[in-house]
Chain A
Amino acid sequence: MTNHWNDLQNTDCALIMGGNPAENHPISFRWLTKAKERGAKLISVDPRFTRTSAKADLYGQLRSGTDIAFLGGMIKYALDNELYHKEYVAHYTNASFILKEDYDFNDGLFSGYDEATRSYDKTKWAFETNEDGTPKEDKTLKHPRSVFQLMKKHYDRYDVDTVISVTGTNKEDYVKICEAFCSTGQVGKSGTIMYAMGTTQHTVGTQNVRAFGIIQLLLGNIGLPGGGINAMRGESNVQGSTDFGLLFGDLPGYVGAPKAIPEHATLAGYNEKETPPSGYWSNKPKFMVSMLKAWYGPNARKKNDFCYEYLPKGNKNYSHINLFNAMYKGEIEGAFLFGTNPVVGGPNAGKEKEALGNLKWLVAADLWETESSAFWQKEAGSDPSTIDTEVFFLPAASSYEKEGSVSNSSRWMQYRWKAIDPKGESLADLEIIHMLMKNIKELYKNEKTAIAKPVNALYWNYGKGHHPDIDLVCKEINGYDLKTKKLLPGFAALMDDGSTSCGNWIYSGFYPEEGKNRAKNRDNKDTGGGNYLNWAFAWPANRRILYNRASADLNGKPWSKEKAVIWWDASQKLWVGNDVPDFVPAKSPKDPGGDNPFIMTKDGVAGIFAGNLNDGPLPEHYEPFESPVTNAFSSQEINPAVQIIEGEFNLKGNSKEFPIVATTYRVSEHWQSGSMTRNQEWLSELVGHMYIEISEELAKEKGIKNKDKVIVSSARGEIEAYAMVTKRFKPYTIQGQKVHHIGMPWHFGFKGFATGDTANRLTPHVGDANSTIPEYKAFLCNVRRAD
Chain B
Amino acid sequence: MATEYVKYVDVTKCDGCRACMVACKNWNDLPAEPQDFLGTMQSHANVSADTWNVLTFVEHENSEGKLDYLFRHSSCYHCTDAACEKVCPENAISYTDFGTVVIDQDTCVGCGYCVQNCPFDVISLKTYKDKNGDEYRKAHKCTMCTDRLEEGLQPACVTTCHTEAMEFGEKEAMIKKAEKRVQEIKDRYPNANVYNPKGVGGTHTIYVLTEKPSVYGMPENPKVPTSAVLWKDYAQPIGKAMVGGVAMALAGAFVANKFFDKKNNQENRDGGGSHE
A/B: CB atoms within 8 Å of each other: yes
Beta-carbon contacts under 8 Å, A371-414 to B:
none
- B268 on the interface (CB 8 Å rule)? no
Complex: how many Å from CA A754 to CA B43?
13
By the criterion CB–CB under 8 Å, are B25 and A682 in contact?
Answer: yes
- Tell whether A688 pairs with B35 under 8 Å between CB atoms, given A30-B164, A51-B16: yes
Mask, B155-167, CB within 8 Å of A = 1, is: 0000000111100
By the criterion CB–CB under 8 Å, are B17 and A684 in contact?
Answer: no
By the criterion CB–CB under 8 Å, are A688 and B39 in contact?
Answer: no
- Tell whether A30 pairs with B163 under 8 Å between CB atoms, given A23-B17, A681-B31, A689-B37: yes
By the criterion CB–CB under 8 Å, are A724 and B40 in contact?
Answer: yes
By the criterion CB–CB under 8 Å, are A23 and B163 in contact?
Answer: no
By the criterion CB–CB under 8 Å, are A669 and B18 in contact?
Answer: yes
Complex: how many Å from CA A723 to CA B41?
12
Give B188's nearest chain A residue, CB to CB: A57
Give B25's nearest chain A residue, CB to CB: A682
- B61 on the interface (CB 8 Å rule)? yes
Give B22's nearest chain A residue, CB to CB: A682
Stretch from B67-75, B194-202, B242-250, B251-259 forming part of the interface with A: B67-75
Complex: how many Å from CA A515 to CA B100?
48
Tell me which residues across on chain B come within 8 A of A722, comparing CB atoms. Answer: 37, 39
By the criterion CB–CB under 8 Å, are B162 and A51 in contact?
Answer: no
One of B43, B44, B69, B162 near A728 (C-beta < 8 A): B69
Mask, B29-49, CB within 8 Å of A = 1, is: 001111101111101100000
- B19 on the interface (CB 8 Å rule)? yes
Scoring A707, A723, A725 by chain B CB atoms within 10 A of each residue's CB, the highest score goes to A707
- Tell whether A681 pairs with B32 under 8 Å between CB atoms, given A669-B18, A727-B59: yes
Tell me which residues across on chain B come within 8 A of A143, comparing CB atoms. Answer: none
- B82 on the interface (CB 8 Å rule)? no
Tell me which residues across on chain A come within 8 A of B33, comparing CB atoms. Answer: 685
By the criterion CB–CB under 8 Å, are A727 and B32 in contact?
Answer: no
- For chains A and B in complex, what number of residue pairs have CB atoms within 8 angstroms? 97
- B15 on the interface (CB 8 Å rule)? yes
A742 CB to closest chain B CB, in angstroms?
15
By the criterion CB–CB under 8 Å, are B39 and A728 in contact?
Answer: no
Tell me which residues across on chain A come within 8 A of B32, comparing CB atoms. Answer: 681-682, 684-685, 753
Complex: how many Å from CA A688 to CA B163?
25
One of A669, A685, A707 near B39 (C-beta < 8 A): A707
By the criterion CB–CB under 8 Å, are B69 and A49 in contact?
Answer: yes
By the criterion CB–CB under 8 Å, are A707 and B37 in contact?
Answer: yes
- Tell whether A29 pairs with B162 under 8 Å between CB atoms, given A686-B43, A726-B59, A728-B69: yes
Tell me which residues across on chain A come within 8 A of B15, comparing CB atoms. Answer: 22-23, 26, 29, 51-52, 54-55
- B21 on the interface (CB 8 Å rule)? yes
By the criterion CB–CB under 8 Å, are B67 and A26 in contact?
Answer: no
Tell me which residues across on chain A come within 8 A of B221, comparing CB atoms. Answer: none
By the criterion CB–CB under 8 Å, are A727 and B18 in contact?
Answer: no
Tell me which residues across on chain B come within 8 A of A55, comparing CB atoms. Answer: 15
By the criterion CB–CB under 8 Å, are B43 and A682 in contact?
Answer: no
Tell me which residues across on chain B come within 8 A of A49, comparing CB atoms. Answer: 67, 69
- B13 on the interface (CB 8 Å rule)? yes
- B26 on the interface (CB 8 Å rule)? yes
By the criterion CB–CB under 8 Å, are A22 and B17 in contact?
Answer: yes
Scoring B21, B26, B70 by chain A CB atoms within 10 A of each residue's CB, the highest score goes to B21
A656 CB to closest chain B CB, in angstroms?
30
By the criterion CB–CB under 8 Å, are A29 and B59 in contact?
Answer: no
One of B19, B34, B70 near A26 (C-beta < 8 A): B19
Complex: how many Å from CA A26 to CA B162?
8
Mask, A678-712, CB within 8 Å of B = 1, is: 00011111111101000000000000001100000
By the criterion CB–CB under 8 Å, are B34 and A688 in contact?
Answer: yes
Tell me which residues across on chain A come within 8 A of B35, comparing CB atoms. Answer: 685, 688
By the criterion CB–CB under 8 Å, are B162 and A27 in contact?
Answer: yes
Tell me which residues across on chain B come within 8 A of A684, comparing CB atoms. Answer: 32, 34
Tell me which residues across on chain B come within 8 A of A682, comparing CB atoms. Answer: 21-22, 25-26, 32
- A53 on the interface (CB 8 Å rule)? yes
- A643 on the interface (CB 8 Å rule)? no
A39 CB to closest chain B CB, in angstroms?
11
By the criterion CB–CB under 8 Å, are B16 and A23 in contact?
Answer: yes
- A33 on the interface (CB 8 Å rule)? yes
Give A26's nearest chain B residue, CB to CB: B17
* Total contacting residues, chain B, CB less than 8 A: 35
Tell me which residues across on chain B come within 8 A of A53, comparing CB atoms. Answer: 69
Give A688's nearest chain B residue, CB to CB: B34
Tell me which residues across on chain B come within 8 A of A27, comparing CB atoms. Answer: 162
Scoring A688, A691, A706, A723 by chain B CB atoms within 10 A of each residue's CB, the highest score goes to A688
Beta-carbon contacts under 8 Å, A650-698 to B:
667-669, 681-689, 691
- Tell whether A668 pairs with B59 under 8 Å between CB atoms, given A27-B162, A54-B70: no
Complex: how many Å from CA A667 to CA B42?
12
By the criterion CB–CB under 8 Å, are A728 and B37 in contact?
Answer: no
Complex: how many Å from CA A492 to CA B187?
53
Complex: how many Å from CA A754 to CA B32?
12
Give A691's nearest chain B residue, CB to CB: B37
Complex: how many Å from CA A22 to CA B14?
9
Give A667's nearest chain B residue, CB to CB: B41
Mask, B103-145, CB within 8 Å of A = 1, is: 0000000000000000000000000000000000000000000
Scoring B34, B41, B44, B188 by chain A CB atoms within 10 A of each residue's CB, the highest score goes to B41
By the criterion CB–CB under 8 Å, are B67 and A727 in contact?
Answer: yes
Scoring A682, A723, A753 by chain B CB atoms within 10 A of each residue's CB, the highest score goes to A682
Tell me which residues across on chain A come within 8 A of B44, comparing CB atoms. Answer: 685
Complex: how many Å from CA A736 to CA B51?
48
Mask, A721-735, CB within 8 Å of B = 1, is: 011111110000000
Complex: how many Å from CA A689 to CA B40?
11
One of B26, B67, B68, B163 near A29 (C-beta < 8 A): B163
Tell me which residues across on chain B come within 8 A of A57, comparing CB atoms. Answer: 188
A702 CB to closest chain B CB, in angstroms?
16
A367 CB to closest chain B CB, in angstroms?
18
One of B21, B39, B165 near A706 (C-beta < 8 A): B39
A26 CB to closest chain B CB, in angstroms?
4
Complex: how many Å from CA A681 to CA B163?
25
By the criterion CB–CB under 8 Å, are A728 and B21 in contact?
Answer: no
Complex: how many Å from CA A22 to CA B34?
24
Complex: how many Å from CA A686 to CA B51?
11
Give A51's nearest chain B residue, CB to CB: B16
Complex: how many Å from CA A688 to CA B18?
14
Tell me which residues across on chain B come within 8 A of A727, comparing CB atoms. Answer: 59, 61, 67
Complex: how many Å from CA A334 to CA B40?
43
Beta-carbon contacts under 8 Å, B147-191 to A:
162-165, 188
By the criterion CB–CB under 8 Å, are A33 and B163 in contact?
Answer: yes
By the criterion CB–CB under 8 Å, are B39 and A724 in contact?
Answer: yes
Tell me which residues across on chain B come within 8 A of A54, comparing CB atoms. Answer: 15-16, 68-71
Mask, B61-96, CB within 8 Å of A = 1, is: 100000111110000000000000000000000000
Scoring B18, B33, B163 by chain A CB atoms within 10 A of each residue's CB, the highest score goes to B163
Complex: how many Å from CA A501 to CA B178?
58
Complex: how many Å from CA A52 to CA B165?
15
By the criterion CB–CB under 8 Å, are B67 and A33 in contact?
Answer: no
Tell me which residues across on chain B come within 8 A of A52, comparing CB atoms. Answer: 15
One of A669, A685, A706 near B34 (C-beta < 8 A): A685
By the criterion CB–CB under 8 Å, are A683 and B22 in contact?
Answer: yes
- Tell whether A668 pairs with B163 under 8 Å between CB atoms, given A707-B37, A724-B39: no
Tell me which residues across on chain A come within 8 A of B71, comparing CB atoms. Answer: 51, 54
Beta-carbon contacts under 8 Å, A23-65 to B:
23, 26-27, 29-30, 33, 49, 51-55, 57
New A-B pairs, 6, CB < 8 Å, besides A54-B71, A688-B35, A689-B37: A54-B68, A668-B17, A685-B43, A688-B34, A722-B39, A728-B67
Q: Report, nearest first, the 6 A-B pairs whose CB atoms are least far apart.
A: A54-B69, A681-B32, A22-B15, A706-B39, A685-B32, A26-B17
Chain A: residues with CB nearer than 8 A to chain B?
22-23, 26-27, 29-30, 33, 49, 51-55, 57, 667-669, 681-689, 691, 706-707, 722-728, 753-754
9 A-B interface contacts by CB (under 8 A): A26-B163, A29-B163, A30-B163, A49-B67, A52-B15, A54-B70, A686-B21, A727-B67, A728-B69
